[in-house]
Each structure stands twice: as C-alpha cells, then as structure tokens.
Structure 1
C-alpha cells in the first residue's frame, strides 16, 4: 500500500467518460473467412464407392421416368409385356444421352432433349455428392474436382455399356463401345459442373476471369435465354393453334387411354427440340423435317409427315404480315441483353462504402461497355450452334434421315444478330443515362 505525503501527493488518474471510446486500441479490420479445413479422413468414403453410388442413383432417377412413359405405350398393345417395357425404357434412356439406335428401318438418333436435361441435372448432383463424400468440399482443388468428375464418368460409362448389351434384340442393336464412350463424356462433363461448384474451383476460376469476358458471357447467357424463351413462346402458340390436328393424331393411334397418355408424354419430351427449331425459324435459317424440305419464314416446303402431334404446329406457308414481325425478335432479345448490361455497369448496386468512395458511373468508357456487348454475340452463337446440333437427328433411313436445323447456319446468324442488338442496347443505355437520374 503506497503512502501519501505532502511532497508526494497522489496523482489524479485520467478522467474517463462513460461514453468515451478507447483510443489506444487498434481498429479491427474486415474479417476474412478462413479457408475450410479438410474434413476428417475417417468420415470420407472411398472414391470408387462414392462415385459408383452417385452414378447409379443418377442413372436410376433418369431411367425410371422413361420406363414409365414408354411402358404406358408398350403395355397398351396386346403383345406388350413388362420385359418389353423395361427394354424399351433402356432404349429410350440410351437415346436421351445421344446414343443412336440401329433399327431395321435405319438409325434412330433424334434425341429427346427433355430427357437429356434431366440426366444432365442428375449427374451434376452426382458430382456434388461425390465431392462431399471424399471430403473435397470447399477445398478449391482442381485435382479433386477432376478426380470426382472422372470417377462418376467411369461409373456412368459402365452403366451405359451394360444398358447397350441388355437392350439388344433381333430388331434393335446398340454398340456397347459407342454407348460407353458417350456416357463417359456426358457423365464426366455434367459431374464436373457439380464438383467444381462444391469444391469452390468454379468460384476461383470466375474470380480470375477478366471482367470483360465475364460480363460478355453473362450478357450472352441472358440474350440466349431471351431468344430461347421467344422460340418456346412461338412454338407453343403454333401447337396451340393446331391443337385440333394434334388431338386427332393422338386419337388415331387407337392405343387406349394409357397409350395416348404415353404418346403425349413422348411429345413433351421433344418439346425442347421444338423450341430450338422455332428459334432457328425466328433467326432465319429454319429447319428441315426430312430430306429436301425446308421450314423458314420465307419458304415452307414439306411433304408427307409422320403422325406426330408435335408437328401439327408447322406453318403452312411463308410468314407475312404479323408473322414477318417475328424476324425482329432476335434483334430485340440482343438489345434487351445489351440494355441490361449497360444498366448494371452504369448504375452499380449500392455498396457499404460512402457515396464519395463509389466510382462515378460517368467514368465508364465506351470500350468497357461495348466490349462485353460484342462478346455476347459469339457466346450466343456457340450456344445456339450446339443446341441446333443436339436437337436434330435421323428418324430412320430414307426421307426422314435429315431432321432439324443446320448448326453452322444457326450459329453464324445468331452471332451477327445478337452482337448487333447487344451493341445497340448497350449504347442506348449509356446515351440515355444521366448522372442526375435515378
């Protein structure tokens, strides 16, 4: 205990207010999330087991709807059987992955894109589950993502080859090697998307991508979705207009309620194909429904068609009047995507920093705006060409050996049209933008 003397008075300590903040402490900076720690090895599953289970579940969940739909058609016949329905489901399942079927009437290669989309989505989930099972979640390791995707692809390839062996009959044959290779590529690509997102590799690649390229891809995806949406609307309107003919075609099969329901569901499985064909029609190149045929806005030349309800919406002649205005839809889709790009770049979302620290939207130069708009054209062209290639295929030999649009024509026209529209939309957004508005 210290003593107090006259020559050594007690020094008064500093007066501290109740509402005062300490000034000698360092101001804490922004928190940075620590990288995810690897999961314990004892909780991990072997790679072969995880990939095999994930691939098998993806195959089962994409096969059962096909077996149910084709089973309705198969069992409605007098000679139908459960075995025949299961084999027909395997054949349709293989066709949905792009594996052609060799029949007595010729190759059958028109892929139902609705089934392809279902199988692709299930395989992306397989990539997610496999990555989690092996403890690669959040690891940001490209090697782990590729390993998980490759393992799923190998397991899926074995299932595809097995299905090709089981589906073979006297009038139907499928190459197991072709099926295995197709399933390996299909499964690995789809699983890589899921594995890339789960491991965090997709986020790392997106962060390292140049801003112009990233904005261009985003704008191209927006324009592509708008273009496909317009094609879906036009196809739906055409089928609705010819709904009476479609109903007559379904009733003409004489397969009972179950068979007619199955035929309707098969037609719905090809609805994405019709969407792509309608988009090609809006772009100008059009599509074919047989050798020597053409369905374009300027020409409609078709012969005898199979009794397929989906074909009831084909136009009867060249577009005129209001139909000719449909040619402006692709340009408008590109302009809308370019406008949205300009609005997003010129009017960024509110950020936590004060207004004085935010970048001035008037400082955005023309190259930073028009660069992504120009890149949107090739992005849409690439996607449109791939969709056109996937939507077509033969329906046997002879006259129906050519069905669908020509991929390179669709890609070239989509690139030019969307690029022009996106540039116009982005330029209009910058010209009409004012610092004092909004």
Structure 2
C-alpha cells in the first residue's frame, strides 16, 4: 500500500479516536446541562468541562480552584478551595489504548507500520493542542505540556506496541524481522525464549487482573446494601443518578486495579494514613460515592488467602509456557528440557508480570481531592514486588517440576516406541501434534 495512503488511514483513526473521546463526555454533560440548568445554563462552560474531563481520562492532572462563595454555600472548608485532581477514570485510557493498538496492527498489514504510527501520533498531538487551546477556564487549569504530551502518549504507545507485536508474529521485512532472525539463531532451548517469556508474563498479568475483576464482581452482591445506601444519601434525581452511574463506570477499571493491589497483599490507600489490605482496613470518612461501598470495612486473616490468586495466575502461565517449551524440545528431537532456560523463563515471567502490575498501580494512583485525599491508590513498588514474587512461585512450580513422562514423550514423537518401527508419515504426524501444542 502506498505510504501516503497508510498515513491518511492512520491519521483518520487518530482523529476518530479523539472525536469519539470528546463525544463520550459531551453527550452526558449536555443532558445534565439541559435537565439540571435548563434555560439558565451557561453553555460556554460546556466545552471546557468536556475537554477537562477528557484530559483527566488521559492522565492530565487538573488544578481546581473553587469560588469562595461556592465554598460558603456548600459548607466546605477554605483549604478545599484549591487542590489537584489526578486520579484518572481509567476506562478512557483502556478504550483509547485498545483502539490505538488495533490501528497499529492495521498499519502493519499495510506494510508501512512506522509511517502509520508517526501519522497517528502527529494527529493525536494536534487534537490535544486544539482541545487545550479552546478550553481555557478559571476553575480547572492544566499544564500545557502535559495536556499535549499525555494524550499523545496514551495513543502512540499502544499503537506502537500493537504494530511491533504484530510484526514479531507476522513479519515486517524490516528491523523486527532482523531481530526475530537473530533470536532464531540462538541455541536449542533458547530460540523461542523471548516470545515465550513475553507470552507467559502477559498470561500471568491477565490472570491477576482477571481474578481482580472477579473479586469486584463478587463484592457487588456481598456489599450491594452499602452501595444502595450511598445512592440514597446522594439524594439525586434520575438524571443525576444516571450521570453518577456513568462516572462510576469510567472508574471501574481503576477499582479493578485497587482490587489487584488488595489481592496481592500490600493493598491501597484512600487518603493519607489509611490502608485497605486483606489483613486489616483502616479508613477515615469516605466521600459519598456509591462505588466506594464495595471497599471492605474490615480485614480478616482468612482473606489473606487471596494472595493465592497471583500464585495460581503464575501457575497457569507456567503451564502454558511449559507446554509450548516441551513441544519445541520435541520438535528439535531433544529428549529433555534444558533446566537453565526454564529457570530464566520463570524469572522473566515474574519480572514482566510485576512490571505490568506496577504500571497498573501507577495508573490507578493519584489525588482525588484536597487534604488527605491527595494520596489515593496503591504503591507501585510494593505491588511490583508482591505480584512478581507470587507469580514466580506459581510459574516455578509448573516450569521446574520434573516430568516423569518427559523421555517417553520424546520417544513417542520420534516413533522409537514402536516395536515394528514407525513410518515417516506417522512420525511426521506425531511431530505435528506436538508442534500444535505451541
């Protein structure tokens, strides 16, 4: 495909991503403006509010300054008049990243993925500039460089990852293929090492996040009474209830990140000097947000069993990688699986899973308000260490456990177990079966 056409298609993807992001905020805000304010609504504030929420969803911190009269009317203390809001509604970032990764893979299939990534990055940066320039207001301000850089990175990095991972598996006749060829020249037992390590780390991290999402789903019926009670205390009308629910859905991935931190052991904070862990919960007064009703009021030693979830995720990843590794050994007519690569694989899986957990912890941390609420979310370093060690235990159990049938499997693949010998066709079929395990 022609380079110009690739650039135009990638630019269109980036423009659609920005427009859809703005529309996702603008639509519910418009309903609120109509039903809550009516003819007295200040429509000039609608677009700035939309952009600021979109920027927050792209991890741009907002500096909020509330009017003194508003503080008096609402009974808020004077120190609450100025604070930073940086805890992002992670749903925005997740959807943008998924769309960008898909665009990167499409650029790869066109044969000019670098051009596509560059075009998408430039258009996203241009959209961020336009949004920031047209949304000035005295209530919520942002640093201009962050307002441009963060939305650009949220789109460009997943797009690049999507293109590179696709190039690794499908080929790109370029630098990724040259790296892949270099990996293919490694000795037997190490040849598939990079791909297996990344695959195993991704499986382990996906497993941990999946268990965290399951924990949230389990908490809904168990803590549903608290959530309903908080809805009743808000005393909002139907429109307000709908908007409040939509806002909470935007923060649902953030809650899943907190559940991951809780499950791993270190837990998370909801304010300075607080902590929510399986063993104990220490909280102050919480804002009246219904979703916060899912936070357990107290810990229990029994809940410490939740740390087994990352261990199980590591074991599943180790099992999947061991099957692929064993199939590779059989295809190479090797009677045993080398130990050293399996040890490094287990460590690599744990490192990748821990790094991914640290990234999730960083993305789900920030400031949620004035005072003690400036410290909210998990600590990335502690989460990385906990998840990494727990995944390492599970992965090592499955990767390093002895296989009593290991030699027998190699004989079966080669056809040495047949008393009368095996035909080339049968042996080839057995190797195809072993290779299909990869």
Same fold (TM > 0.5): yes
Matches of 1:332 and 1:45 in 2, distance apart? 46
Alignment partner of 1:178 is 2:146: yes
Q: Structure 1 residues 290 and 176 mapped into 2: Cα distance closer, same or farther (>3 Å)?
A: same
The runs of 5 or more residues in structure 2 that have no matched partner are 66-81, 184-190, 413-433
Are 2:6 and 2:115, in contact at CA under 8 Å, matched by a contact in 1? Answer: no
1:154 to 97, 122, 127: 122
Deviation at 1:431, TM superposition (A): 4.9
Deviations 1:180-199 (A, max 9, x none): 12233333223323444478
Are 2:100 and 2:155, in contact at CA under 8 Å, matched by a contact in 1? Answer: yes
Where 1:106 maps in the other structure, the secondary structure is strand
Matches of 1:308 and 1:228 in 2, distance apart? 23
Q: Structure 1 residues 400 and 213 mapped into 2: Cα distance closer, same or farther (>3 Å)?
A: same
2:88 to 101, 106, 111: 111
Alignment partner of 1:417 is 2:390: yes
2:337 to 364, 372, 385: 364
Deviation at 1:307, TM superposition (A): 1.1
Deviation at 1:109, TM superposition (A): 0.7
Question: Where does residue 63 of structure 2 map in the other structure?
Answer: 102
Q: Within 5 Å, which residues of 2 pair with 1:126-141?
A: 126-127=103-104, 131=107, 137-138=110-111
Where 2:63 maps in the other structure, the secondary structure is strand
Deviations 1:323-357 (A, max 9, x none): 232122221221222122222322469xxxxxxx9
Q: Structure 1 residues 40 and 273 mapped into 2: Cα distance closer, same or farther (>3 Å)?
A: closer
Matches of 2:402 and 2:88 in 1, distance apart? 41
Q: Within 5 Å, which residues of 2 pair with 1:33-432?
A: 39=1, 44-45=4-5, 47=7, 50=9, 52-78=11-37, 80=41, 83-104=44-65, 105-127=82-104, 131=107, 137-138=110-111, 144-196=112-164, 197=166, 200=172, 204=177, 205-206=179-180, 208-209=182-183, 210-321=191-302, 323-347=303-327, 358-360=331-333, 362-428=335-401, 430-431=403-404
Structure number with larger C-alpha Rg: 1
Scaled by the length of structure 2, the TM-score of the pair is: 0.78
How many aligned positions are there?
A: 380
Scaled by the length of structure 1, the TM-score of the pair is: 0.78
Are 1:110 and 1:394, in contact at CA under 8 Å, matched by a contact in 2? Answer: yes
Matches of 1:215 and 1:279 in 2, distance apart? 24
Q: Structure 1 residues 237 and 376 mapped into 2: Cα distance closer, same or farther (>3 Å)?
A: same
Deviations 1:356-389 (A, max 9, x none): x944464222223332122101001110111100
Are 1:249 and 1:308, in contact at CA under 8 Å, matched by a contact in 2? Answer: yes
Q: Structure 1 residues 244 and 68 mapped into 2: Cα distance closer, same or farther (>3 Å)?
A: farther
Deviation at 1:391, TM superposition (A): 0.8
Matches of 1:126 and 1:82 in 2, distance apart? 35
Q: Structure 1 residues 307 and 40 mapped into 2: Cα distance closer, same or farther (>3 Å)?
A: closer
Are 2:93 and 2:154, in contact at CA under 8 Å, matched by a contact in 1? Answer: no
CA RMSD of aligned residues (A): 2.8
Q: Structure 1 residues 242 and 191 mapped into 2: Cα distance closer, same or farther (>3 Å)?
A: same
Where 1:318 maps in the other structure, the secondary structure is coil
Q: Structure 1 residues 238 and 71 mapped into 2: Cα distance closer, same or farther (>3 Å)?
A: farther
Q: Structure 1 residues 301 and 75 mapped into 2: Cα distance closer, same or farther (>3 Å)?
A: farther
Deviations 1:159-196 (A, max 9, x none): 11221233322211122222112233333223323444
Are 1:108 and 1:394, in contact at CA under 8 Å, matched by a contact in 2? Answer: yes
Higher helix share: 2
Matches of 2:26 and 2:145 in 1, distance apart? 23
Where 1:363 maps in the other structure, the secondary structure is coil
Question: Where does residue 10 of structure 1 map in the other structure?
Answer: none
Question: Where does residue 28 of structure 1 map in the other structure?
Answer: none
Deviation at 1:312, TM superposition (A): 0.5
